[in-house]
Amino acid sequence: MVFSSNIFLFFFLPLFLAVYYLTPFKHKSFVILIGSFIFYCWWRVDFLALFFGITLINHLVALRIVANEGGIRARQWMIFGVVCNLLALALFKYFNFGVDTLNAALEGMGFRPMEFMHIVLPIGISFHAFQSISFLIDVYRKDAPPARSFMDFAAYNSLFPQMIAGPVLRYKDLADQFESRPHTLDQFSYGAYRFMLGFAKKVLIADTVAMLADSVYALPNPTMADAWIGALAYTVQLYFDFTGYSDMAIGIAAMMGFKFLENFDHPYISRSITEFWRRWHMSLSAWLKDYLYIPLGGNRKGKVRNYINLFLTMLLGGFWHGANFTFVIWGAWHGAWLAIEKAMGRKVDDAPMPVFKRIGLVLGTFFIVMLGWVMFRAPTVSKAFDIYEGMFGFNGFGISDAMAWQLPGMAVSALILGLGMVFVIPYYEARKGIKIREMSGFLPHMMAIVLFILAVMKLSYQSYSPFLYFQF
C-alpha cells in the first residue's frame, strides 16, 4: 500500500485514524502496531515475521545492555545486536548483488557461474535496520532510555508513516512522545495540511515529469537536448517525490500527535555539496554523521584521515541506497566533493556575498548534484555514461525524433514549474519569514485543499506510481 493510492486515502487512513482516536492513550501503541502491520502486509504478509523477529531481538538486546550497564558485557551485547541487524540487511539487500558480482568474475575467468536462489528485498528493510542500530547504540551510550515497553518499541520500529522511506527516526527523539503527546484540532489540521501539500508534490509534479526521465533513459543514444531534459526531469522528479513522501509522513504523524524531524530544507539552493548534505535527507545525513563518520574518527585524527572519513562515509552511504555499482559511484562522487571542499576550507554559513557569486555557487552545486543523479538513476554504469555523452554533445544537439513525440505539454510545464519552485520558493519564504509548510489560516489551507483535489483527480486516471525511495 502506498500513500498515493485511493485505497489508502479513502479506506485505510480514515479507518485507522477513527480507531486510533477512539482508543485510550495507553492502548494507542497497540493500534499503531496493528495498523502498521496491516499497511505493510498489504504488500507481502510473509515478511511480517521477519520484521517482528528483528524488533523482538533488538528489544531483548537493549534490555541486556541496560542490565549490564557500564560493563564489558553491555558493549558485547550492543555489538551483537548491531551485527544481527547488519546481517539481516546484508542477506536481503546485498546477497543477490554479491552472487551476481561473483558470477561475473567467474565467467570472466572462464568458469561456470554458481546458482543460488534469488532473494526478494523486503520494502523498508534499510530504514528498519538503521533505526534499530541507532536505538541500540543510543541505549549503550546512554543517549536514549530503553523503551518503556515492548509495545512502545514495536510501535516505534514499525510506524507506518515512515517505515517504507523514512525519515530515519531515532528513538531518543520520540521516547517522550510515547509517554505523552497532544491530540488537538490544531495539530490534526496542521497534519492534514502538510499531508495534502506532500500529496500534491508527488502526484502533480513528480509523477508528471517522470515520463520525461523514463523516456530519455530508454533512448540508446540521447542527444544533448534529450539528455539535459532527462537529467533535469529526474532531478525534479526525485526531489518532489521524496519531499512529497516526507511531507506526507510528517503530516500523518502530526495527525497522530507525533512530531517528526524535518527531512529537507530546500537543498537545491545550496552553495556547496557540504551545504547540500545539510539540507537533503537530513535524517540520513545526521545518522551517517553520528553512527559512521564520528566513529571512524571524524576530524579528530588529522586532515588526511578527515578527508578519508568523509569519502568512506559517503561511499558507504551510497552503497546503503542499493546493491548496484551506480550507487557506489554516486556515493564516491559526493564523498570526493566533500573532501575537496574540506581541503579548500569551504564553510557553510549565511555570510553576505555578491548576488552573482551566490547565484554562481548555487548553479555550480546544482550542476554537480545533477551529474550525480544521472548515475543514481541509471540502471547500469554504462547507461549513465550514455547520458553523460549526450549531455556533452557527443550524440548531436537537437531533440531526437524518438524523443520529440514524447514531450507532452503537461510534462514540460510541470518540469518548468518544478524548477521554478525549487529556486523561487526559498527566497519567497526568506522574504516573508515563514515557510509554506508552516503556514496557517484560511487561504493557505484552501489552496492545499484545491491542490489535493486536483491531485486526486489526476491519481484516478494515472497508472500505479510508487515512491522512488521504496526501492532503498
* Mean of pLDDT values over 268-290: 93
Residue 431 has pLDDT above 60, yes or no: yes
3-state secondary structure of 396: strand
pLDDT (tens digit per residue) in 184-231? 999 999 999 999 999 999 999 999 999 999 999 999 999 999 999 999
Residue with the three cell numbers 547488519: 86
* Least confidently predicted of 74-83, 103-112, 365-374, 390-399: 103-112
Residue 361 has pLDDT above 70, yes or no: yes
- DSSP H/E element including 146: none
Q: CA angle at residue 405 from 399 to 407, to 5 degrees?
A: 75
Residue 471 has pLDDT above 60, yes or no: no
Q: Which of 211, 162, 186 is nearest to 36 (CA)?
A: 162
Residue 392 has pLDDT above 70, yes or no: yes
**Residue 298: how many other CB atoms lie within 10 Å:** 15
**Residue 464: how many other CB atoms lie within 10 Å:** 8
Q: Is 289 left (phi over 0), alpha (psi -120 to 50) or beta?
A: alpha
Between CA 197 and CA 342 the distance in angstroms is: 36
pLDDT of 339 reads 94
pLDDT of 315 reads 93
pLDDT (tens digit per residue) in 44-58? 777 788 888 888 999
111: CB partners within 8 A, 6+ apart: none
* Mean of pLDDT values over 335-346: 90
**What Å distances lie between residue 224 and 75, 395, 397, CA to CA?**
55, 7, 5
Find the farthest-apart pair of alpha carbons in the chain and give their distance in angstroms, rounded.
70
Give CA torsion, residues 274, 279, 281, 284, to 10 deg: 50
402: CB partners within 8 A, 6+ apart: 219
What's the mean pLDDT when you consider all of the chain? 88
Between CA 63 and CA 146 the distance in angstroms is: 7
> Grid coordinates standing for 461?
486516471
* Mean of pLDDT values over 28-54: 85
| pLDDT band of 466, cuts 50, 70, 90 | low
149: CB partners within 8 A, 6+ apart: 29
Please tell me which of 30-39, 223-232, 281-290, 351-360 the model is most confident about, judged by mean pLDDT. Answer: 223-232
* Least confidently predicted of 159-168, 301-310, 370-379: 159-168
Residue 469 has pLDDT above 60, yes or no: no
Between CA 81 and CA 137 the distance in angstroms is: 9
Please tell me which of 124-133, 373-382, 393-402, 422-431 the model is most confident about, judged by mean pLDDT. Answer: 373-382
CB 292 within 8 A of CB 271: no
Residue type at position 432: K
Q: Which of 183, 321, 334, 445 is catalytic?
A: 321
Q: Does residue 183 have an active-site annotation?
A: no
pLDDT of 203 reads 93
pTM: 0.90
Residue 382 has pLDDT above 90, yes or no: yes
Peptide bond between residue 167 and the one before it cis (omega within 30 degrees of 0)? yes
Listed in sequence order, the DSSP H helices in 184-324 are: 185-200, 207-217, 224-255, 273-276, 282-288, 303-321
Q: Residue 396: what are its φ and ψ, rounded to 5°?
A: 100, 175
Between CA 206 and CA 467 the distance in angstroms is: 9
In 3-state terms the chain splits into helix, strand, coil percentages (rounded to 5) of 70, 0, 30
> DSSP letter string over 35-104?
HHHHHHHTT-STTHHHHHHHHHHHHHHHHHHHHTTTSHHHHHHHHHHHHHHHHHHIIIIIHHHHHHHHHH
